[in-house]
């Protein structure tokens, strides 16, 4: 199929809720993709911070193929070996949690909110309200959307879940002021991803954890984007020495195969009693087998350490190119460039259409570019991406003048 045919079928057959770049890929290896015309791209978006092991990592492909030959799905009415092994391994890695598996980030958030409500009602004396942050992103289902602090995503879908209060991200005094006797949980991203890689002061997360203990509410940390190596630690909360009550994971959990997870401390997990929550596909054989292979790769290829090294290299290179014309920030391989002028979409387009190799990056609004490459990215990949970016930067800036 050529690109025009794919585009026509998309317009005819699909709902128009995505604005897509004019490219269709057919093949990927590591940090590289090829489109239907055979053009090569360096992928510094990784399916929106998903493909941590890169595209078609041989270990993940083998795990998927092997499991596909054996058994795909039976439902959670039965015991599922790979899910059991994954749950124990993931829970231990996080520091002693029990896992509920689902299929996406939004579902991991739904499970987290439902568990917090259940505990609020049955353990914390009827508490039910939730505090979330402005500019946050937690997903598109009604519950996840209700705690997403971006009114543009709420438009047309109200009324949303009641009892949610928003406070400015990073502002501990405002958060403290918003706590009431009815607050059952605070939900927070350790670093805000979708709003442009916003990193709070080091005291923010520990401050919420302290308040959670003092005022008896749960700390839900949304690690959907930051989790499993991206920021240079296995979990981003480990930068801050806090112990969340509940953790939401998805994105890179099965290296690009759909999977989400809610992790809860055992004293809380026990309140998700039999029948109180479920997912037909959650933790199926295929997703669990690939997630186990992803964890093997993460450990053997030291992906968190690599994220720190490559992230520093990327940030330094971007700083050299952008100079005083913007701010470069990030942790590990979660990096953003914020410009003083509204040039992010033009830069993104120039990078995508660069020849002979394109560079895939993501524009957030008109001033921020986000770089979230696969965690297996090499020095050569980073240097080549910087070289493409430098060319596009000069071209876009020259056009502006
Ligand atoms: C921090 C965070 N939470 C939740 C989600 C929702 O995940 P999904 O799109 O898999 O539902 C996202 C997606 O970008 C995210 O970045």
Residue pointed to by tokens 């690599």: 306
Q: Which residues are catalytic?
A: 137, 222, 251
The predicted-structure confidence for 290-300, as pLDDT tens digits, reads as follows 999 999 999 99
Final residue of a structural domain among 252, 277, 300: 300
Rounded to whole angstroms, the Cα distance separating 134 from 175 reads: 11
Q: Rounded mean pLDDT of 123-132?
A: 98
Angle between the 379-400 and 303-322 helix axes, to the nearest 10 degrees?
A: 30
CA-closest residue to ligand 1 atom 4: 138
CB 320 within 8 A of CB 285: no
Query: How would residue 155 be classed by pLDDT, with cut points 50, 70 and 90?
Result: very high
Q: Under 8 Å CB-to-CB from 351, ≥6 apart: which residues?
A: 358, 359, 360, 361, 388, 389, 392
Provide φ and ψ at 97, rounded to 5°.
-130, 160
224 and 80 co-located in one domain? yes
Answer yes or no: do 147 and 256 share one domain: yes
What does the alpha-carbon distance between residue 122 and residue 46 come to, in Å, rounded to a whole number? Answer: 41
Residue 370 lies in a domain: no
Whether residue 253 is predicted with pLDDT greater than 90 in this model: the reply is: yes
Cis before 79? omega within 30: no
Atom of ligand 1 nearest to the CA of 223: 1
Angle between helices 81-94 and 285-300 (to 10 degrees): 40
Could you tell me if 225 and 285 lie in one domain?
Answer: yes
- Per-residue model confidence (pLDDT) at position 202: 97
Q: What is the pLDDT of residue 75?
A: 97
Q: How far is the CA of 235 from the centre of ligand 1 (A)?
A: 16
Residue 51 within any structural domain of the chain: no
pTM of the model: 0.97
Where among 333, 355, 374 does a domain terminate? 333
Amino acid 399: pLDDT: 87
How far away, in angstroms, is 356 Cα from ligand 1 center? 32
Partners of 19 in the beta sheet?
none
Question: Percent of the chain, pLDDT > 70?
Answer: 100
Q: What is the pLDDT of residues 187-244, one digit of tens each?
A: 999 999 999 999 999 999 999 999 999 999 999 999 999 999 999 999 999 999 999 9
Q: Compute the distance between CA of residue 252 and CA of residue 371 in angstroms, rounded to an integer.
A: 15
Nearest to 94 by CA among 322, 247, 304, 230: 247
Q: Is the CB of 230 under 6 A from ligand 1?
A: no
**C-alpha 255, offset from chain centre:** 12
Say whether pLDDT at 401 is over 90. no
State the residue range of the domain holding 114: 58-300
> Do 294 and 316 fall into the same domain?
no
User: Please, what is the average pLDDT of the chain?
Assistant: 97
Question: pLDDT value at position 374?
Answer: 98
Domain check: are 289 and 309 in the same one?
no
Residue 46 and residue 236: Cα distance in Å, rounded?
19
Q: Which residues contact 143 (CB under 8 A, 6 or more apart)?
A: 109, 110, 113, 114, 161
Same-domain check for residues 119 and 190? yes
> Is the distance from the beta carbon of residue 192 to the nearest atom of ligand 1 less than 6 Å?
no
Is residue 400 very low, low, confident or very high in pLDDT (cuts 50, 70, 90)? confident
User: How many distinct structural domains can be found in the chain?
Assistant: 2
ω into 356 cis (within 30 of 0): yes
Segment 13-63, tens digit of pLDDT: 999 999 999 999 999 999 999 999 999 999 999 999 999 999 999 999 999
- CA torsion angle 108 166 180 223 (round to 10): 30
Whether 123 and 146 map to the same domain: the answer is yes
Same domain, 69 and 187: yes
Looking at the structure, tell me whether residues 309 and 253 fall in a common domain.
no
Q: Are residues 187 and 321 in the same domain?
A: no
| Domain shared by 101 and 219, yes or no | yes
pLDDT average, residue stretch 337-355: 97
Is residue 277, in this structure, part of any structural domain at all?
A: yes
User: Residue 347 domain-assigned?
Assistant: no
Confirm whether 209 is domain-assigned: yes
Write the pLDDT tens digit of every residue in 294-334. Answer: 999 999 999 999 999 999 999 999 999 999 999 999 999 99
Which of 153, 231, 251 is the best mutation target for the ligand 1 pocket, counting ligand atoms within 8 Å of the beta carbon and taking the most? Answer: 251
Other C-beta atoms closer than 10 Å to the C-beta of 100 total 25
Mean pLDDT of 149-175: 98
Residue 377, in any domain of the structure: no
Question: What local confidence, expressed as pLDDT, does residue 117 receive?
Answer: 98
The domain boundary, picked from 251, 285, 300, lies at: 300
Does residue 129 sit within a domain?
yes
Residue 28 bridge partners (DSSP): 33
Ligand 1 touching residue 104 (CB < 6 A): yes
Cis peptide leading into residue 400 (ω within 30°):
no
Q: Kindly state whether residues 222 and 313 are assigned to the same domain.
A: no
* Residue at 237 is within a domain: yes
Q: What is the CATH number of the domain that holds 204?
A: 3.40.640.10
**Cα(23) to centroid(ligand 1), Å:** 23
């Amino acid at each position: 199929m050529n690109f025009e045919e794919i585009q026509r079928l998309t317009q005819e057959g699909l709902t128009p809720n995505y604005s897509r770049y004019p490219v269709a890929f057919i093949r990927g290896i590591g940090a590289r993709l090829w489109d239907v015309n055979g053009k090569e791209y360096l992928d510094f978006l990784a399916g929106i911070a998903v493909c941590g092991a890169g595209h078609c990592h041989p270990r993940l492909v083998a795990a998927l193929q092997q499991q596909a030959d054996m058994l795909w799905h039976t439902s959670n009415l039965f015991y599922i070996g790979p899910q059991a092994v994954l749950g124990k391994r993931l829970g231990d890695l996080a520091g002693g949690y029990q896992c509920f598996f689902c299929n996406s980030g939004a579902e991991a958030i739904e499970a987290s909110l439902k568990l917090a409500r259940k505990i609020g009602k049955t353990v914390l004396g009827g508490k039910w309200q939730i505090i979330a942050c402005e500019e946050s992103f937690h997903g598109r289902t009604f519950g996840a959307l209700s705690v997403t602090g971006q009114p543009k995503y709420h438009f047309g879908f109200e009324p949303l879940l009641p009892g949610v209060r928003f406070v400015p991200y990073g502002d501990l005094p405002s958060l403290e002021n918003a706590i009431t006797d009815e607050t059952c949980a605070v939900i927070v991203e350790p670093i805000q991803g979708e709003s442009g890689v916003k990193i709070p002061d080091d005291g923010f997360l520990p401050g919420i954890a302290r308040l959670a203990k003092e005022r008896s509410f749960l700390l839900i940390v949304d690690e959907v984007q930051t989790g499993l190596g991206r920021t240079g630690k296995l979990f981003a909360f480990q930068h801050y020495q806090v112990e969340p009550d509940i953790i939401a994971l998805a994105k890179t959990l099965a290296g690009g195969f759909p999977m989400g997870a809610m992790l809860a401390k055992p004293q809380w997990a026990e309140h998700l009693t039999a029948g109180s929550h479920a997912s037909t596909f959650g933790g199926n054989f295929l997703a669990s087998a690939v997630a186990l292979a992803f964890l093997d790769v993460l450990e053997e290829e030291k992906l968190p350490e690599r994220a720190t090294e490559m992230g520093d290299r990327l940030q330094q290179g971007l700083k050299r190119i952008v100079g005083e014309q913007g701010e470069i920030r990030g942790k590990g391989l979660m990096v953003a460039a914020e410009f003083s002028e509204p040039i992010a979409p033009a830069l993104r387009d120039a990078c995508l259409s660069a020849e002979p190799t394109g560079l895939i990056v993501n524009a957030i609004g008109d001033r921020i570019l986000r770089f979230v490459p696969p965690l297996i990215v090499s020095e050569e990949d980073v240097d080549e991406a910087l070289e493409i970016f430098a060319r596009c930067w000069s071209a876009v800036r020259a056009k502006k003048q």
